[in-house]
Amino acid sequence: MSKGASEAGGPPGARVLIIGTLDTKGEEIAYLKERLIGAGLLPVVVDVGVLDEPAFVPDVDRAVIARAADESSEKLRASGDRGRAIAAMQRGLAVWIRKDHAHAPVAGVLAIGGSAGTAMATAAMRELPVGVPKLMVSTMASGNTRPYVGTSDICMMYSVADFTGLNRLTRTILSNAAHAMAGMVGLSSAQTANPDRPLLAATMFGVTTACVNRVKQLLEKQGYELMVFHATGAGGQAMEQLVRDGFVEGVLDITTTELADELVGGVLSAGPHRLEAAGDKGIPQVISVGALDMVNFGAPETVPEKFRGRLFYQHNPAVTLMRTTPEENAELGRMLARKTAAARGAVTLLLPLGGVSAIDAEGKPFRDRAADQKLFDAIRENAGANVRVVEMDCHINDPEFAGRLVQEFLLMVAERTRSVEA
């Protein structure tokens, strides 16, 4: 992020990339360039078109992007194969922007496009760190944007009309996009960052909210700042990526429910590498078993037929929860043990013996002592030498459990500090 912004726009000379295909969208890109210059920024036009001549000379030629993918823009054009050309330029753009930003950090990235242009530009945007302004003006922004956004902080703006030249509507949309980028670039990182408060990450679900809210309050009193991620698959992936990128100094992975969806086949899996980033980085992490009593599906009619006869709970009309079985809980315990044993640093794993979610409490629909016991036993039996297992005879949402989570985290930090000083 740039520093020293004025109220009128971004800091003078802040470099903003404009990505687009100059063979099909040259008029619109030229208009965006004018608007950004008017806002006091330094636009750098990157051409990713291939099949026809560019409307004007860009700042970064298509040949440069193609070479980054070990391709030739001339050969791609001569082939007449649009699919191959798009794939090559997408690879090249991702490689080029990563190197360019490492050499001279950009203040922001603005792109326009249809399906192909959106795929190319957003693949490049995802290579940039969270916090660098990224705005994609796209004909695809009114549909499923997850393939484009992923776990990045890409802003998607629907173009309403297709990009076939300038008119009253497209000028308005593009002008708004340029002003939005100028506004994002103009926000100095000094206004948003607080370097005196170490940044931590935590995971939460609706059924563990009471615990995480209490943890947040306690940590903030100790001078920490806590980012909370909703454990919905994308949330876990986002947290893992931010950990790998070095954004956080510690993790309180209270709600590991995404592992259940990965194991059983629910809709909120975070993929096979969930619960690995903090261990790979060797940063302090305190882990619990929040919401491992459930697998997530959509509306009742979306639940696969193979699960007929299982115990379900209707969280809301669009969310159906399925209770994990003792056998599944045993495997989840072994999975947790394997992942934590591979960590490069110490790990503390807290077990709430009185229940792992709001609906796994006494008198609640998912209360199943036998299933929970299988989970706990598998963790006890398979925990690595680097894992400290702490058991508490309380529910995960009880205040004393939140207090112990924070206590254990602070102990880990203190021990880490002593070892570094020694």
pLDDT in tens, 197-250: 899 999 999 999 999 999 999 999 999 999 999 999 999 999 999 999 898 999
pLDDT-wise least confident of 26-30, 96-100, 118-122, 413-417: 413-417
Q: What is the mean pLDDT of residues 100-111?
A: 95
- Considering the domain architecture, whether residues 237 and 154 belong to the same structural domain is answered as no
Among 130, 157, 190, identify where a domain stops. Answer: 190
pLDDT band, residue 15 (cuts 50/70/90): very high
- Asked if the structure places residue 239 within a domain, the reply is yes
Same domain, 74 and 198: no
CA distance 54 to 64: 14
Q: Report the pLDDT value the prediction gives residue 418, as an integer from 0 to 100.
A: 81
Same domain, 213 and 344: yes
Q: Are 109 and 224 within one domain? A: no
| Segment among 62-66, 195-199, 316-320 with least mean pLDDT | 195-199
411 within a domain of the structure (yes/no) = yes
> Which tens digits make up the pLDDT trace of 274-304?
999 999 999 999 999 999 999 999 999 999 9
Per-residue model confidence (pLDDT) at position 188: 45
pLDDT of 420 reads 75
pLDDT value, residue 4 = 31
Is the per-residue pLDDT at 2 higher than 90? no
Q: In terms of domains, do 169 and 305 share one?
A: no
Range of the domain at 229: 194-421
Residue keyed to tokens 């454990």: 231
* HEC letters along the chain: CCCCCECCECCCCCEEEEEECCCCCHHHHHHHHHHHHHCCCEEEEEECCCCCCCCCCCCECHHHHHHHCCCCHHHHHHHCCHHHHHHHHHHHHHHHHHHHHHHCCCCEEEEEECHHHHHHHHHHHCCCCCCCCEEEEECCCCCCCHHHHCCCCCEEEECCCCCCCCCHHHHHHHHHHHHHHHHHHHCCHHHHCCCCCCEEEEEECHHHHHHHHHHHHHHHHCCCEEEEEECCCHHHHHHHHHHHCCCCCEEEECCCCHHHHHHHCCCCCCCCCCCCHHHHHCCCEEECCCCCCEEEECCHHHCCHHHCCCCEEEEECCEEEEECCHHHHHHHHHHHHHHHHCCCCCEEEEEECCCCCCCCCCCCCCCCHHHHHHHHHHHHHHCCCCEEEEEECCCCCCHHHHHHHHHHHHHHHHHHHHHHHC
239 and 95 within one domain: no
Q: Give how many domains the chain has, as a whole number.
A: 2
The domain that holds 402 is classified in CATH as: 3.40.50.12030
Pairwise CA distance, residues 332 & 349, whole Å:
14
Whether the per-residue pLDDT at 252 is higher than 60: the answer is yes
Each residue of 331-366: pLDDT tens digit? 999 999 999 999 998 899 999 999 999 999 999 999
Q: Are residues 122 and 228 in the same domain?
A: no
pTM: 0.79
**Domain shared by 182 and 283, yes or no:** no
Domain assignment of residue 244, yes or no: yes
Band of the pLDDT at 74, cuts 50, 70, 90? very high
- Which of 137, 169, 190 terminates a domain? The answer is 190
Mean pLDDT for the chain? 92
For residue 325, is it within any domain?
Answer: yes
Q: How confident is the model at residue 416, as a pLDDT?
A: 85
